[in-house]
Each structure stands twice: as C-alpha cells, then as structure tokens.
Structure 1
Amino acid sequence: MFSKAVCRKAPYFGTIKPKITLLQPGICKATIKNRKAIHNHIGTVHAIAQCNLAELCAGVMTDATINHKSHRWIPKGMTVQYLAKAETDLHAIAKIEYPRTWEDKEELIVPVEVFSNSGEKVFHADINMYISAKKS
C-alpha cells in the first residue's frame, strides 16, 4: 500500500509498478517485476525503467532521511551506467551514510545499485540531490 501511495504522489513511478521493500533513514530498497510493459526492443528491462527505479529509491530515501522542518530537496541530475542486460526482476538499493548533518545548498550524491535475481549488478546511478535550507 505504501508503494501505491508513493506512486499516487509521483504518478510517473507507477509505470514501473515498484514495491518498496525497506525504508528507513539512510536506506531504501525496492523491486520491480520483469514484464513486457517495461521492455525495450530487445526484450530486456528498458533503460528508462531502470532510471525510474533508481530515482524512486533515491528520492524516497532522501525524503525519509532529511529533516523536513529545516531542509528540502529536489533531484538535480543523474549519471547512469548500464552494466549488463536486465533480463529478470530487479532489486535496487539507495544508501547513504547516516546519521549526517544537512547543509544549505548541498549537493548530495545518492548512489543506487540495481541487481538481477541472481545478484548480478546490472545498473548503477549517482543521483545528485540538491538540499537547501527552508526559509524562515
């Protein structure tokens, strides 16, 4: 139900039908099923579906970790590496060191790793989250 609520808040994530399996400050894990609706022309999970999974994990983790009373965040950019064909369900993890001190005008790089069912790393993203102090 939580995953569906996230997709209602950010509808585009619904296209990959994610399931968030772990969320706590500093870490988020999620999975997506390998299904035809997210395939590319060669029958593997499309690159953009993998990007969506990575951004979902990084964003939800950042949102669960940041101090909402004093700071806010927005994704600013993403660098990705496609390491192997994504031919199975996928499991992603976004993790940062926690606890941590939040700065104003900080660029937090959130690494996200995506693995196949066999544990092979198929994708890596570094997502730049722009953290800023809320105005009083």
Structure 2
Amino acid sequence: MSASLLSLYQRITRWPAGHWLFSRAVCLRAPYFATIAPRFVVLAPGRCEVRMRDRRRVHNHLGTVHAIALCNLAELSAGTMAEASMPPGMRWIPKGMSVDYLAKAIGSMHALATPDAAAVESAAGYEWPVTVRVSDAAGQEVFRARITMWLSPRTRH
C-alpha cells in the first residue's frame, strides 16, 4: 500500500489542483480528517508536510486553533508519512501520542512529520517514533507531537 499511496501522490500532484485532489482522496479514505480541511504539500519517504488554513471551525472559544485540531493535523501527517515510508511487508498503527503546546496557535498551520529512523522490514512488531512539528505562518513552532507508531508484519488471510 505504501508504494501505491506515494505513487498516487507523485502522479496526481503533477496536475493542476493535484495537491487539493490528493488531499480530498486521503480524506475520503479517512473521513474524520476532513474536519480540518488539510492540504498536503510534500509527501516523500520519511517526510510529510500538511497545511491547515485558518478557519473558524478549527478555533476554540479563545479564537486560537483548537488543541484537537492540532492533534488531528499531527496524526494525519504522521500517518500519511508512515504509509508512504513502510517497507512492503509492514503495516502501521498509532500506538500513542504525547503533545506539547509551545505557543498560541493563531492563523494557518504547517505540519512537518519525520521519523527518528527509517522503517525497516522485521519479522516482529516494533515501536517507530515520529516527530511532528507544527508552525504558524511566521514559522514559529507552536505545537509538537511525538507519535509512537506500532509497525508489524502484514498478515495474510
């Protein structure tokens, strides 16, 4: 699956509005992420960048970007990066996430997901840490997530 997602991204983003189309396709597969209206801007093995525009629907009662919207942005970028980075015989699932709120999240957000190390083929499952840094339009890091992915061999039924 990882090769097909990355291949789809590489093909579709050559078209006009291709980044928008890819973002919509990902949200069709995982509908909850559509709540933040993400826009994928970079996808490569070991790297995913996603933008979230400033919209009222992602605000909290204080007018800043809601904590859960930031968590959704982090999980989406980490999961998509994981999907594009997996060896063919492996699969992933989020196992845990810790977050740090570093500054008020105001305006549009930009997430960058990168793993601590490359994913490798293994006969046993293992933890694979991914860091997601979210910055505002001025480039200030406002949020950081550490997501532990569980990688395990694909099973055949």
TM-score (norm: length of structure 1): 0.94
Pairing partner for 2:108 from 67, 89, 93: 89
Give the AA of the match of 2:99: V
Per the alignment, residue 34 of structure 1 pairs with: 54
Write the deviation string for residues 25-83 of structure 1: whole angstroms up to 9, x where unpaired: 00000000111111001000000000000000000000000023x11111111100011
- Pairs aligned (count): 135
* Alpha-carbon separation, structure 1, partners of 2:79 and 2:31: 14
Distance 1:13 1:100, change over 3 A: closer
Instruction: State the identity %.
Output: 47
Pairing partner for 1:75 from 80, 88, 94: 94
Per the alignment, residue 6 of structure 1 pairs with: 26
The aligned runs of 1:1-136 (5 Å cut-off) are 1-68=21-88, 70-96=89-115, 99-103=118-122, 104-135=124-155
Give the AA of the match of 1:47: A
Q: Are the equivalent residues in 2 in contact too, given 1:95–1:110 (CA < 8 A)?
A: yes
Give the AA of the match of 1:16: I
Q: What displacement does 1:102 show? A: 3.2
Q: What displacement does 1:101 show? A: 2.2
CA RMSD of aligned residues (A): 1.3
Greater relative contact order structure (CA < 8 Å, 6+ sep): 1
TM-score (norm: length of structure 2): 0.82
- Which structure 1 residue ranges, 5 or more long, are not aligned? none
